Amino acid sequence: MRSVVLKAFEQIQKTGKMKLFKSYKREYADGEQKRDFLYVKDAMDMTLFFLDNPDACGIFNIGSGAASTWNCLANAIFKAMGRKPDIEYIDMPKDLKEKYQYFTQANLAKLRKAGYKGKITPWKMRSAIMCKIT
């Protein structure tokens, strides 16, 4: 599965804009749905923790533990590309409308209890890294 950032980057390169789903819940404005976006190096560190600690077994959440909005992610990608943000809010597919998760945030308690002590890259730093990469 390709990353959201790569898909957005290609979409912006091709069309100059990024498409996000409209919100269908009053408590969330368009693009203000939240996800726990995880920096790939943090995901790698968490995964390697399990390789080095085979006694830590079971189902674990990995993530940043902090939710950010789609708008925030989109703006960081536009900034990284040196472009003015142009976000188009599109209708959500009908089959997804009732199943769509408006908020996800990893609970890292079990991971920490298993002994993972790694630092998680803060959002500001992750978005700054994106700006340096492009």
d(CA 71, CA 31) in angstroms, rounded, equals: 5
Phi, psi of 60 (to 5 degrees): -125, 145
Q: Could you list the pLDDT tens digit for every one of the 134 residues in the chain?
A: 578 889 999 999 999 999 999 999 999 999 999 999 988 899 999 999 999 999 999 999 999 999 999 999 999 999 989 999 999 999 999 999 999 999 999 999 999 999 999 999 987 666 555 545 44
- Tell which CATH classification among 3.40.50.10680, 2.60.40.1180, 3.40.50.720, 3.40.50.2300 matches the domain 4-133: 3.40.50.720
Helical axes 4-15 vs 70-80, angle rounded to 10°:
60
pLDDT of residue 128: 55
Q: Under DSSP, is residue 82 helix (H, G, I), strand (E, B) or coil?
A: coil
pLDDT of residue 122: 84
pLDDT of residue 4: 86
Question: How many CA within 13 A on the CB side of residue 71?
Answer: 11
Domain boundaries, the chain: 4-133
Report pTM: 0.84
Question: What sign for the dihedral angle of Cα 75, 80, 82, 88?
Answer: negative
Q: Are 79 and 18 in contact (CB under 8 A)?
A: no
